[in-house]
Amino acid sequence: MNFLEVSNISKQQHGAYILKNVSFTQHQFQKVVIAGETGSGKSSLMKIAGGMGQADEGTVMFEGKRVRGALEVLIPGHPGTAYLSQHFELRNNYRVEEILSYANKLTEESANEVYEVCRISHLLKRKTDQLSGGEKQRIAMARLLIGAPRLFLLDEPYSNLDMIHKSILKNVISDISERLGITCMLISHDPMDILPWADQILVMKDGEIVQRGTPREIYNQPVSEYVAGLFGKYNLIAPAKADVLEGLPGITRNGKHIFIRPEDFKVVRTKKDAIPGKVKELSFYGSFLEAEVALGNEIVTIKTANAGLKKGATVQVAVDPEAVWYF
Ligand SMILES: Nc1ncnc2c1ncn2[C@@H]1O[C@H](COP(=O)(O)OP(=O)(O)OP(=O)(O)O)[C@@H](O)[C@H]1O
């Protein structure tokens, strides 16, 4: 029995498919991310998985039982799951502890652990209109977690947070899995939030899952330019232009596009197994430089920590053959 099993889900709105025959499974404690461009169907899929939405076709099984859709029940949402919307609301003019006490299904000790995990123990006496956006979000999370879900669905939890609150929330989400033992699934656009956290990524486009895999598979072996672009910068050399890489070992000319991430090109000292390139542009990003380098008449992006790089200089460029991918 799978923890969560989503099978052949389809849904239409105004005659157009927003989800088309989507299937996936999630094991208990597996961290799953749904990624994809705006409007690709991420929220619709997540809501259906938690019983907060209604599919036209297909089934969702959670812990071996069918999850009923939002239109089949009085109060939408499967009791074993909790869905944190992007547009969560907290009632105004209540103390945080009052709001939490209504939802609590836990012992006092366990509830206190949830408040600690959510970094809100110091906010319990405050009124809900005396909180920052990030604090409100963590209280909304705590309110769902004290309902004792086994699966927590987080819809774009990192949007609209500054670096400091994002970093607090990352620790909170990590503790929700590790200290509270709750399985999490989240939606995010940002590769920096997705790649270090996920065990499994589902990439959506136009209502379908176009690729699924581990962060390494999705980042290094994307099936298309769309997937490549969602997870960071990349170089894509068309088959007709593959000549510009002549002289680099390990490049296969197989009629496919050659895909190389900027950090997989190396600026090296030796001419052995390298080709010359001219630095056209340099951008400083703090911990690294990004160079636009002309290899013949093709410009490639190279990410390097080499602080000695100068605009206009000719450099030797190598590539890690293991990192080259084709599609
Ligand atoms: N209630 C609705 N009525 C009509 N169309 C809807 C409804 N909900 C979603 N859609 C449409 O379904 C498609 C998928 O929407 P969804 O919110 O699932 O995408 P998303 O990938 O989560 O987008 P975003 O990243 O912008 O939140 C979009 O084209 C959206 O306009």
Whether residue 80 is predicted with pLDDT greater than 80 in this model: the reply is yes
The one-letter amino acid at 142: A
Same fold, 4-230 and 235-326: no
Return d(Cα 296, Cα 200) in angstroms, integer.
39
Alpha-carbon distance of 222 to 217, in angstroms, equals 7
- Dihedral sign (CA 99, 102, 103, 108): positive
Burial of 26 (0-12, 13-18, 19+ CB in 10 A): buried
Neighbours of 220 (CB within 10 A): 18
Domain map (residue ranges) of the chain: 4-230, 235-326
Decide if 124 contacts 115 (C-beta within 8 A).
Answer: yes
Query: What is the spatial distance between Cα 315 and Cα 267, in angstroms, rounded to a whole number?
Result: 7
Nearest CA to ligand 1 atom 17: 43
% of the chain residues with pLDDT over 90: 82
Which of the pair, 53 or 161, is modelled with greater confidence? 53
Instruction: Answer whether CATH 3.40.50.300 is correct for domain 4-230.
Output: yes
Cβ neighbours of residue 71 closer than 8 Å, sequence gap 6 or more: 54
Query: Class assignment of domain 235-326?
Result: mainly beta
Gap between the Cα atoms of 110 and 113, Å rounded: 5
State the average pLDDT over residues 298-311: 91
Q: 69 CA to middle of ligand 1, Å?
A: 17
Q: How far apart are CA 246 and CA 238, in angstroms?
A: 14
What is the structure's pLDDT at 104?
Answer: 82
Q: What is the pLDDT of residue 306?
A: 80
Please state, in angstroms and rounded to a whole number, the distance separating the CA atoms of residues 176 and 8: 29
pLDDT band at 91 (very low <50, low <70, confident <90, very high): confident
211 lines ligand 1 (CB under 6 A): no
**pLDDT tier, 1 (very low <50, low <70, confident <90, very high otherwise):** confident
pLDDT of residue 237: 95
Mapped onto helix, strand or coil, the DSSP state of residue 299 is strand
What's the pLDDT at 118? 96
Min mean pLDDT across 4-13, 94-103, 150-159 is at: 94-103
Is the beta carbon of 43 within 6 A of some atom in ligand 1? Answer: yes
Question: Over 80: is that where the pLDDT of 304 sits?
Answer: yes
Across the chain, mean pLDDT equals: 94
Query: What is the number of the ligand 1 atom nearest to the C-alpha of 14?
Result: 4
Helix 96-103 and helix 133-145, axial crossing angle in degrees, nearest 10: 20
pLDDT band of 208, cuts 50, 70, 90: very high
Q: What are phi and psi of 78, to 5 degrees?
A: -75, 135
User: What distance in Å separates the CA atoms of residue 189 and residue 242, rounded to the nearest whole number?
Assistant: 31
- Confidence band, pLDDT 50/70/90 cuts, at residue 20: very high
Ligand 1: centre distance to CA 39 (Å): 5
Confidence check: pLDDT of 190 > 80: yes
Residue of 179, 186, 182 lying closest to 117 (CA atoms): 179
**What is the average pLDDT across 295-299?**
93
What are the structure tokens assigned to 184, written together?
């999490």
Quick check: 8 and 21 in contact, CB under 8 A? Answer: yes
Encode pLDDT of 135-171 as tens digits: 999 999 999 999 999 999 999 999 988 888 899 999 9
Helix (H, G, I), strand (E, B) or coil at 4: strand
CB of residue 287 inside a 6 A radius of ligand 1: no
Tell me the best of 42, 209, 226 to mutate to test the pocket of ligand 1, counting ligand atoms within 8 Å of each CB and taking the most: 42
Task: State whether the beta carbon of 53 lies less than 6 angstroms from ligand 1.
Answer: no
- Among the ranges given (25-29, 30-34, 192-196, 253-257), the one the predictor scored with the smallest mean pLDDT: 253-257
CA-CA distance, 100 to 105, in Å (whole number)?
Answer: 10
Cα of 43 vs centre of ligand 1, distance in Å, is 7
SS3 323: helix
